[in-house]
Amino acid sequence: MTELVSVIIPAYNGAETIEETLLSVRHQTHRALDIIVVDDGSTDGTLDIVRRQAREDSRIRLIRKANGGVATARNHGIERAAAELIAPVDADDLWHPTKIEKQLAALRRGGERVALVYTWFAVIDEHSRVIDATNNSLDEGNVLRRMCMGNLVGNGSSPLMRRQAVIDAGGYDPGLRAQNAQGCEDLKLYFAISRNHHFAVVKEHLTGYRWTPRNMSSDGMRMLRSYDLVMEPFGALHPEFGWEFHYGRGFFIEWLFQRALRYDAFASAAGLAGALYRHDRPWALRALARGCFAVGRKKLPRKRGLELTPAGTAIFGPTFLESADSAALTGFMPSLARDRTAMYQIEPKRMS
């Protein structure tokens, strides 16, 4: 029997990217998909794009609601899901064609104890180019201790989850938005699931996680506030993991700090540096040194045809994700400018 998977896509003014996202979902090798787009009160061309895609693919359902934030949109989609397996994807992220197929295989291998399967992810820019593919967590099984050290899954578009486990964990928390602290709704859900279930991982970069200066995770101080509101209650529940929580907060602040530097958000970077100094002074000094090095890399010339990002990380090439073989790149998104109806092709390419 082929497992049905409900794909939940929350969308708010996502006209620039949602077509590309939908194409990456539609062309999954696992075809039994219930694709739910939850429009969260968009005022741009998002609805027209989704309706056009739905005419081409009967698996797509469009649900409209008043604007209430990403958590309410995801929860609304989960309530309407036809399947017992849930795979969320944000309206600006991308999937490799084999993502769901390989996650289902990992779920079957793990058995009933596994409630969440995540994949490695590559960070992509506004042009869908890979700017980082260093995410390579191997943690699976009982990951509660590891979750105390931060978001093991990494983003909201990577996991495949059992619907009942999501419901039992309370779903995505809409209360963070009311406190002007959006950003860590997915972390809170994953942590809650990890307290009662096992995780599994597909050790391939099958999720494209988009970073731009405009997306929600670019507001560093709000993200830190969101992290603290999420993790402090869990810290009280698990005092035995005090060191792990300390490490996780420091790592998260430095990640936000380095991201702020990448986009020249120096006011935010200064605030985050101060927060890290108050959290752990030696760590803050090391982070400042690493940050100065990253800023200095901006002045480096291009080498061997690889474009340098502001932080000095090589871009591997347009619309490529790193494959399971770390020595190769797999092209998974044909240029929409050339052919918006093309099927995805998997063409391994060697890195320069």
Stretch 5-17: mean pLDDT: 97
CB 34 within 8 A of CB 6: yes
Residue 38, beta-bridge partner list: 10, 63
Residue 288 counted as domain residue:
no
CB 149 within 8 A of CB 338: no
User: What percentage of the chain has pLDDT greater than the value 90?
Assistant: 70
pLDDT band at 331 (very low <50, low <70, confident <90, very high): very low
- State residue 340's pLDDT score: 26
- Alpha-carbon distance 33 to 100, whole Å? 9
- Alpha-carbon distance 42 to 38, whole Å? 10
Q: What sections of the chain are H helices per DSSP? A: 18-26, 46-56, 70-80, 99-110, 144-147, 163-168, 175-178, 185-194, 220-237, 242-262, 266-279, 281-297
Q: Mind listing the pLDDT tens digit for each residue in 275-322? A: 999 999 999 999 988 887 766 665 444 333 333 233 333 333 334 333
Residue 304 counted as domain residue:
no
Q: Is 90 exceeded by the pLDDT of residue 131?
A: no
- Please work out, in degrees rounded to the nearest 5, the angle formed at the alpha carbon of residue 49 by the alpha carbons of 51 and 122: 120
pLDDT band at 134 (very low <50, low <70, confident <90, very high): confident
- Alpha-carbon distance 256 to 254, whole Å? 5
Mean pLDDT of the chain: 84
Q: Is 60 exceeded by the pLDDT of residue 141?
A: yes
Residue 285 counted as domain residue:
no
DSSP letters of 279-333?
A: H-HHHHHHHHHHHHHHHHHTTPPPBTTBPBPTT-PBP--TTEEE-SSTTEEEE-S
> What is residue 84's DSSP assignment?
S
Q: Mind listing the pLDDT tens digit for each residue in 160-185? A: 999 999 999 999 999 999 898 999 99
Residue 160 counted as domain residue:
yes
- Alpha-carbon distance 112 to 108, whole Å? 8
* Other CB atoms within 10 A of residue 237 CB: 10
Q: Mind listing the pLDDT tens digit for each residue in 186-214? A: 999 999 999 999 999 999 999 999 987 66
Please name the amino acid found at residue 280.
D
Residue 241 counted as domain residue:
no
- State residue 132's pLDDT score: 81
- Alpha-carbon distance 30 to 49, whole Å? 23
CB 256 within 8 A of CB 282: no
Residue 129 counted as domain residue:
yes
- State residue 330's pLDDT score: 36
Q: Which two tokens stand for residue 274?
A: 């101060």
Parent domain of 169: 5-218
In this structure, what is the dihedral angle of CA atoms 17, 18, 24, 25, given to the nearest 10 degrees?
160
- Alpha-carbon distance 10 to 41, whole Å? 10
Tell me how many domains the chain contains: 1
- State residue 341's pLDDT score: 27
CATH number where 87 lies: 3.90.550.10
Q: Mind listing the pLDDT tens digit for each residue in 216-275? A: 455 899 999 999 999 999 999 999 999 999 999 999 999 999 888 888 888 899 999 999
Beta strands 198-210 and 328-331 are: unpaired
- State residue 326's pLDDT score: 32
Residue 335 counted as domain residue:
no
Q: Is 80 exceeded by the pLDDT of residue 337?
A: no
- Alpha-carbon distance 235 to 245, whole Å? 7
- State residue 135's pLDDT score: 80
- State residue 215's pLDDT score: 60
- Alpha-carbon distance 97 to 101, whole Å? 8
More confident call, 132 vs 110: 110
Q: Is 90 exceeded by the pLDDT of residue 136?
A: no
